[in-house]
């Protein structure tokens, strides 16, 4: 009996220690510090009142609601492509949600952990309609605006060399400056994630009808959050938040019905997700109803997508690869069991 007690005590101690780190810091501070972009329409950008909105912002809000019980307890730190990873490494932010592509080198050299992909994208190009460019071969010799410190800068050179296309990169350290320069007519084309280009045309172009995003993409751009290595408890929360939002969409749990479904649903999968049965929340050092709070704050993944980048948004993007796996997409939640 004594051996069982000792083993149980040791297990409890190890679980308690594992739950430390960033989670304890966030709880003690009473605020989540979330790294976002300096302005990507549909993902993270301040509105006219200075309030941040977008798909990445909704993940920050859902996280704050799940961990602290209040989606408003977030401080947003606007980061450029050059300083985003340094800000996370140094502890300036708790988590990075900033249109950041996951790659091999970023995964093994930065001391950071890549979370699950929350948006599948590809590098595209936008041009003026009156330029008459129909495909990438039509950009041979063109001046192309591109952001410094991004995968786009590297891929642009790789693709050009592999396909015999000579373009003249014009590199910018700030995205807003790049947009101003392109829409001011200095570049023949601009390259970025296709979703970001759609957002730029919808919100930053003098006249959106004058521009077209070419249908061809030249890369895989799996976007998702980053956390620090060595803080597995916090990284697990980031991971399971995403899977929870996907699972909620699969099960029909929404911002409007999450609380009621937590009380009344007899579906085992819904009960586990919403904390009505089991102890999945406490395994992460959180309240068992943490996903109820997260979903109430931001909605399920489908709601977040449609509101920020889907047909209900200025970007009007199709779900495509970001649809649920049951509808031909790649969004698939690991089971909550």
CATH number assigned to the domain comprising residue 51 = 3.40.190.10
**pTM for the whole thing?**
0.88
Burial class (CB in 10 A: 0-12, 13-18, 19+), 184: exposed
Residues 50-57, mean pLDDT to the nearest whole number: 95
pLDDT digits (tens, 9 = 90+) for 137-148: 999 999 999 999
**Same structural domain, 248 and 113:** yes
Does 163 map to a domain? yes
Does 246 map to a domain? yes
Q: What is the pLDDT of residue 14?
A: 36
**Same structural domain, 152 and 68:** no
Does 230 map to a domain? yes
Number of structural domains the chain divides into = 2
**Same structural domain, 315 and 303:** yes
User: What does the mean pLDDT of the chain come to?
Assistant: 92
Give yes or no for residue 329 having a pLDDT over 80. Answer: yes
Do residues 172 and 181 lie in contact, with contact meaning Cβ atoms separated by under 8 Å?
yes
Does 332 map to a domain? no
Does 337 map to a domain? no
Residue 201, domain extent: 123-219
Does 333 map to a domain? no
Boundary residue ending a domain (180, 201, 219): 219
Give yes or no for residue 13 having a pLDDT over 90. Answer: no
Boundary residue ending a domain (155, 188, 219): 219
- Quick one: which of 109, 103, 111, 84 has its CA closest to 151? 103
pLDDT band at 149 (very low <50, low <70, confident <90, very high): confident
Give yes or no for residue 6 having a pLDDT over 60. Answer: no
- Quick one: which of 324, 235, 336 has its CA closest to 276? 336
Boundary residue ending a domain (219, 241, 264): 219
């Amino acid at each position: 009996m004594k051996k069982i007690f000792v083993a149980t005590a040791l297990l409890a101690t190890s679980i308690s220690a594992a739950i430390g780190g960033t989670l304890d810091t966030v709880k003690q501070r009473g605020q989540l510090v979330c790294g976002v972009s300096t302005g990507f329409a549909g993902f993270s950008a301040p509105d006219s009142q200075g309030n941040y909105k977008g798909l990445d912002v909704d993940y920050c809000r859902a996280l704050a609601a799940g961990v602290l019980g209040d989606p408003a307890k977030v401080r947003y730190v606007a980061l450029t492509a050059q300083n985003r990873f340094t800000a996370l490494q140094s502890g300036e932010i708790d988590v990075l949600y900033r249109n950041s592509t996951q790659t091999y080198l970023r995964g093994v050299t930065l001391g950071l952990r890549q979370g699950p992909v929350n948006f599948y994208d590809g590098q595209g190009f936008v041009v003026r309609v009156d330029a008459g460019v129909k495909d990438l071969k039509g950009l041979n010799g063109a001046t192309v605006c591109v952001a410094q410190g991004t995968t786009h800068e590297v891929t642009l050179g790789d693709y050009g060399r592999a396909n015999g296309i000579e373009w003249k990169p014009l590199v910018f350290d700030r995205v807003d400056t790049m947009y101003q320069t392109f829409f001011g007519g200095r570049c023949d084309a601009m390259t970025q994630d296709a979703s970001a280009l759609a957002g730029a045309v919808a919100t930053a172009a003098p006249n959106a009808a004058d521009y077209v995003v070419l249908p061809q993409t030249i890369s895989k751009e799996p976007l998702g959050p980053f956390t620090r290595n060595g803080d597995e408890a916090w990284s697990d929360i980031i991971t399971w938040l995403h899977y929870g939002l996907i699972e909620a969409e699969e099960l029909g749990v929404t911002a409007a019905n999450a609380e009621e479904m937590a009380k009344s649903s007899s579906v085992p999968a819904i009960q586990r997700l919403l904390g009505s049965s089991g102890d999945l929340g406490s395994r992460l050092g959180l309240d068992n109803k943490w996903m109820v709070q997260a979903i109430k704050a931001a909605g399920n993944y489908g709601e977040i997508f449609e509101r920020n980048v889907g047909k209900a948004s200025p970007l009007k993007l199709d779900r495509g690869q970001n649809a649920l796996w049951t509808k031909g997409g790649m969004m698939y939640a690991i089971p909550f069991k």
